[in-house]
């Protein structure tokens, strides 16, 4: 465990994925905005203040299942030089294991052997793509690893399958890191790796624990009824916070991916506080955003939500750095948490003085 608290100010680097610029379809209605060409999205990064790109494997190689290995590597090489030309860095590659007819019942935990074989094949392709981009991280969002009908799968066997997959990935490439992104529900009813605790248990059980970490998304922690800053603190204490997907969520409903701080400002402040106190970012970790704009938003491309979430994060960094730590210490020493809470709220509201 890492117990040091670092107070060296970090200059943060930001990332997002191309899927964060979207057309507004939801389960009840179609697209409402014109599609902005995928390959033109990369030119938007730098002007918005981002230099990290989060990739699904088929964001790098469209129609991945239809490509030969040579075509796949040629396309990855093109993306690599495009990134270099735009001054961008690939943060991670994630196998998209929730679109194919082979992943209807899950991927690594699907009941059909041929579906599990597809998942493994696709995972190896994602690792090959990451390697071709010089990217060291694979993110596993285990989208459909879970059940709709609880009795449909043997959960103990499913966990063993996930464990075996992690080990097989570590074996397939001796350098990559695996960052597991837990989510408790949606699209499944019950997910097998619902929290960071589960992800970190898988990391320690793996053949190379130092290369298995977690990626914590604010909304996913909130959907599990947990405090995202405590989840982050837990991963940081184990030196296992590979990345974050900052966003927000208004209670227990569909996965909203709202702007960072938009529903729970104090919770957002605490996430920034925990990241700052641990020196997150000093080893090159990104502040990843995973935010959706409203379906009502007009224009093409729509990027205000990315710019705004980044701005809110930076305002909160300022709030953390100007938070009166002497006062905090005094309140804690006196065990006067009423006063502590009042002062946090005053600070967030920009009310001066301490009275």
Binding residues among 249-268 for ligand 3MF as defined by CB under 6 A: 255
Q: Tokens at residue 161, please?
A: 């399958």
* Contact partner, 312, from ligand 3MF, Mg ion, none, Cβ < 5-8 Å per class: none
Residues that bind Mg ion (CB under 5 A): 217, 245, 290
Q: Which residue out of 7, 26, 38, 56 is catalytically annotated?
A: 56
Whether residue 255 lies in the annotated active site: no
38 is annotated as an active-site residue: no
Judged by beta carbon distances under 5 to 8 A according to partner kind, the member of ligand 3MF, Mg ion, none in contact with residue 255 is ligand 3MF
94/312 with CB nearer ligand 3MF: 94
Q: Is 183 in the site for ligand 3MF (CB under 6 A)?
A: yes
Minimum distance, C-beta of residue 103 to ligand 3MF, in the bound complex (Å)? 13
Residue 94 interacts with, from ligand 3MF, Mg ion, none (CB under 5-8 Å by kind): ligand 3MF
* Block residue for tokens 């409203």: 294
Q: Give me the 287-306 binding string for ligand 3MF, x by CB under 6 A, dash otherwise.
A: ---x----------------
**Binding-site residue total for ligand 3MF (CB under 6 A)?**
11
Closest to ligand 3MF by CB, 195 or 343: 195
Say how far apart CA 339 and CA 332 lie, in whole Å.
9
For ligand 3MF, which residue of 13, 19, 36, 311 counts as binding (CB under 6 A)?
19
Q: Kindly report the number of other CB atoms within 10 A of residue 101's CB atom.
A: 7
Q: What is the C-alpha separation between 246 and 260, in angstroms, rounded?
A: 6
Residues that bind ligand 3MF (CB under 6 A): 19, 56, 94, 139, 141, 181, 183, 217, 245, 255, 290
Show which residues are catalytic: 56, 59
């Amino acid at each position: 465990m890492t117990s040091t608290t670092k107070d060296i100010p970090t200059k943060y680097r930001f990332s997002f994925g191309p899927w964060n610029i979207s057309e507004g379809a939801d389960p009840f209605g179609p697209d409402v905005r014109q599609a902005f060409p995928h390959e033109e999205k990369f030119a938007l990064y730098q002007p918005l203040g981002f230099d990290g790109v989060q990739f699904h494997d088929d964001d790098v190689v469209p129609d991945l299942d239809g490509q030969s290995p040579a075509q796949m590597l040629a396309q990855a090489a093109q993306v690599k030089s495009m990134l270099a030309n735009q001054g961008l860095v690939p943060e991670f590659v994630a196998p998209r294991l929730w679109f194919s007819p082979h992943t209807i019942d899950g991927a690594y935990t699907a009941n059909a052997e041929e579906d599990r074989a597809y998942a493994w094949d696709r995972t190896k392709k994602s690792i090959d793509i990451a390697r071709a981009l010089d990217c060291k991280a694979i993110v596993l969002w285990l989208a459909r690893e879970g059940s709709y009908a609880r009795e449909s799968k043997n959960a103990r066997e499913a966990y063993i399958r996930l464990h075996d997959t992690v080990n097989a990935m570590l074996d397939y490439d001796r350098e990559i890191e695996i960052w597991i992104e837990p989510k408790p529900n949606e699209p499944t009813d019950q997910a097998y790796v619902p929290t960071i605790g589960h992800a970190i248990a898988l990391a320690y059980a793996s053949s190379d624990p130092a290369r298995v970490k977690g990626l914590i998304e604010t909304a996913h922690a909130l959907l599990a009824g947990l405090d995202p800053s405590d989840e982050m603190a837990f991963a940081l204490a184990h030196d296992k916070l590979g990345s974050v997907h900052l966003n927000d969520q208004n209670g227990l409903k569909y996965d909203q991916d709202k702007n960072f701080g938009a529903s729970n400002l104090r919770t957002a402040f605490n996430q920034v506080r925990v990241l700052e106190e641990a020196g997150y970012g000093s080893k090159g970790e990104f502040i990843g955003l995973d935010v959706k704009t409203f379906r009502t938003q007009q224009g093409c491309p729509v990027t205000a939500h990315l710019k705004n979430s980044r701005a809110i994060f930076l305002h909160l960094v300022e709030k953390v750095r100007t938070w009166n730590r002497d006062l905090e210490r005094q309140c804690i020493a006196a065990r006067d948490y009423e006063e502590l809470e009042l002062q946090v709220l005053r600070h967030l509201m920009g009310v001066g003085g301490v009275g």
